[in-house]
Amino acid sequence: MVWGHWNVWGSLVWFGFMFPPADLLSEKDMEVLLQATGCSSELLRPLCRTDCLSERYRSFTGECNNRQHPKWGAANTAYSRWLHPEYEDFRGAPRGWDPEHTYNNFTLPPVRLVSQEVLLTQNDDISLDTSLSHLLVEWGQWIDHDLALTPQSPSTSAFRTGVDCTRTCSRDTPCFPIQIPLSDPRTGIQSCMPFFRSAPSCVGGALAGTPPHHHREQLNAITSFVDASMVYGSSSSLAAALRDSSSRLGRLALNDQASDQGLAYMPYLPRLQGHLDPCGPRRGSVDNFTREQDNITSCFQAGDSRANEHLGMIALHTLFLREHNRLVEQLHLLNPHWGPDTLYQEARKIIGAIHQILTWEHYLPRVLGETATSQLMPTFRGYDPETDPSISNVFSAAAFRFAHVTVQPVVARLGSGYSLSPEHPSLPLHHSLFASWRVVQEGGIDPILRGLLLSPAKLQLPGQMMVEELTERLFQAQGGLPLDLAALNLQRGRDHGLPGYSSWRALCGLSVPNTTSDLADILGSPGLAEKFRSLYGTPQNIDVWVGAISEPPLAGGRVGPLLACLLARQFRALRDGDRFWWEREGVFTGAQRAALHAVSLSRIICDNTRIAHVPSDPFRHTVSPDDMLACNHALIPHLNLSAWKEPDTGNTHSTLKTGPPKDNNITDGL
């Protein structure tokens, strides 16, 4: 326990508390500090039940998925590490904290300069992906929101001086502002962009098979598993709040103030008194619209706090809210003896399996390419309790951010028949961010989904990286000075102490570039290699995210060798280390697995919207609306739920207690 106390002390320093070392504190004092900082729940080992219900349903928190390591993959635990972090000092200062600090005899370039020199792409200077739809891009972010959420420091003021981090360009934890170089067009308008360090974990990190290390670690606030936590939440209390407590069918709660032509929306969040509507139009903007209800916002409530980030995310959240409620109604018809909790849990279990199938069988082969998928993602051979499914730091802070360079600058919205419509005009991307009001006021989710189905993804090429909508206009419509997503990604990797590009190539058994010539061979672009040399001095210093996305894609895929390695390693661990993986014997019956194998995102769209024609493969780019299929086409099969029919035998499964699940770390999944 001594090393645990040491880490708590380290975290208290970072949280801004200046207390004496743990050895000088009484046990009661330590308990108070653990509770005050939130460390108590992180350090407490959960009690795991072994009854039939805990075998049948996963917990909301992810705890006890692995009975020997009950915190593996659980919410509010530290990200795992595949390489030791490289901080600037023993206290965990980020890489680049001191602009004069050298790495391999060179200083690190300002992240905004890297964004400007390597990543910035004009909106009208992009190539389109002729093979993949923009829904594939959206699905990547959707799954990312199922896997990882890094909380920022709970303090927004500098610990030492108390200055507001949004109003200072000084580096004083948790403030780690992004400096604006003198060559930047923004010079004279702003000197820096605000950036908050990620909150530290109370538990020091360790590589598999090694003793604990006391370096700074960051937290994953949600479950690592692909379990549809963005629909249901990663805590019992949130899961309960999202349910319709009056429903005898285990439904999720619906919006009682607005509907989508009779179809459901998510409930609104309450408005904080004295605050503007964060998801509504800004006063004085073109979109001058004010809500009459003062007690609510235009923001929707969901299982993930990022649900309102942009229109595509809202559309998918709404789609799976409706699909859950559709499933519980169908399951009730098959099993009228099932209580609301059984209906809820069985629908949740099916939704989780749908996400696993669509991700592993439909999404990943497009990203990695069929050859790399077969080589790096061997067939499932069963649950391995020795595999840690926790999300790795490099995956969250770098690798799975690859799709940012495939985002289109325009959000297409299409009318009935996939036609352009003045009622649903396309929007610049920055006008769709935190603009939930547009869904209710401008045609619901159907125009957004039609746009995602028919629009191609952006193609990532050297010289065509990230559109200016994301580097120059991020959150511009929300007021204040816009941010830069590329710079934020690079700064986050440095904040988390991610080693440089070459270290990750070595981890994956790939050739390590030592010279500009080596780098040019790997990237297939002498010009890009020379840009990196002028910025970083040596390939060893290149930030892993920008180096990885710069590699040319593998055959049939959309990522290069390094990203393929890192993504496959993470998704293998998520599959093999999940006791509730859908293919594991006993999780579903053989008949249920056979039925699930036919699931289709196009079918889910048909069943939960008024869209009548869809592509047979929604992740493939459909060239023309004429290529869409009617929803009753044989290639858009229904999910056959007959395999879930059970006789009414009065078993414990059919008599679960009624009402939403209660907060209890033992019966969290019930």
Q: Which residues does the annotation place in the binding site for heme b? A: 404
List all residues 6 or more positions away from 499 whose beta carbon is below 8 Å from its beta carbon: 83, 84, 85, 86, 544
Q: Give the C-alpha distances (Å, rounded to integers) separating 376 from 233, 365, 373, 439, 669.
A: 31, 11, 5, 40, 33
List all residues 6 or more positions away from 188 whose beta carbon is below 8 Å from its beta carbon: none
| Contact yes or no for 317/302 (Cβ under 8 A) | yes
Distance CA 537, CA 516 (A): 9
Distance CA 24, CA 481 (A): 46
List all residues 6 or more positions away from 361 whose beta carbon is below 8 Å from its beta carbon: none
| Contact yes or no for 666/236 (Cβ under 8 A) | no
- Six-digit token string for 630: 């009617």
Q: Is 145 a catalytic residue?
A: yes
Burial class for 186, CB neighbours closer than 10 Å (0-12, 13-18, 19+)? middle
- In 42-59, which positions are buried (b, 16+ CB within 10 angstroms) versus exposed (e)? beeebebbeeebbebbbb
Q: Give the C-alpha distances (Å, rounded to integers) separating 270 from 233, 243, 428, 523.
A: 18, 16, 28, 49
List all residues 6 or more positions away from 249 whose beta carbon is below 8 Å from its beta carbon: 325, 328, 329, 332, 340, 343
- In 386-397, which positions are buried (b, 16+ CB within 10 angstroms) versus exposed (e)? ebbbbbbbbbbb
Reference 321, options 265, 248, 381, 391; nearest CA is 265
Kind of pairing between the strands at 410-411 and 427-428: antiparallel
Give Dmax over CA atoms of the chain in angstroms.
75
Number of H helices, E strands in the chain: 24, 16
Reference 453, options 597, 634, 300, 600; nearest CA is 600
Beta bridge pairs of residue 91: none
Beta bridge pairs of residue 466: 120
**Residue type (1 letter), 441:** Q
> Which residue of the set 69, 84, 134, 145 is catalytic?
145
Question: Dihedral through CA 245, CA 246, CA 249, CA 251, nearest 10?
Answer: -50
Q: Where are the beta strands (DSSP E) in 364-489?
A: 410-411, 427-428, 456-459, 466-467
- Please name the residue ranges forming H helices in 601-646: 601-608
Give the orientation angle of helix 311-334 with respect to helix 134-147, to 10 degrees: 70
The size of the chain, in residues, is: 670
**Residue type (1 letter), 18:** M
The catalytic site residues sit at 145
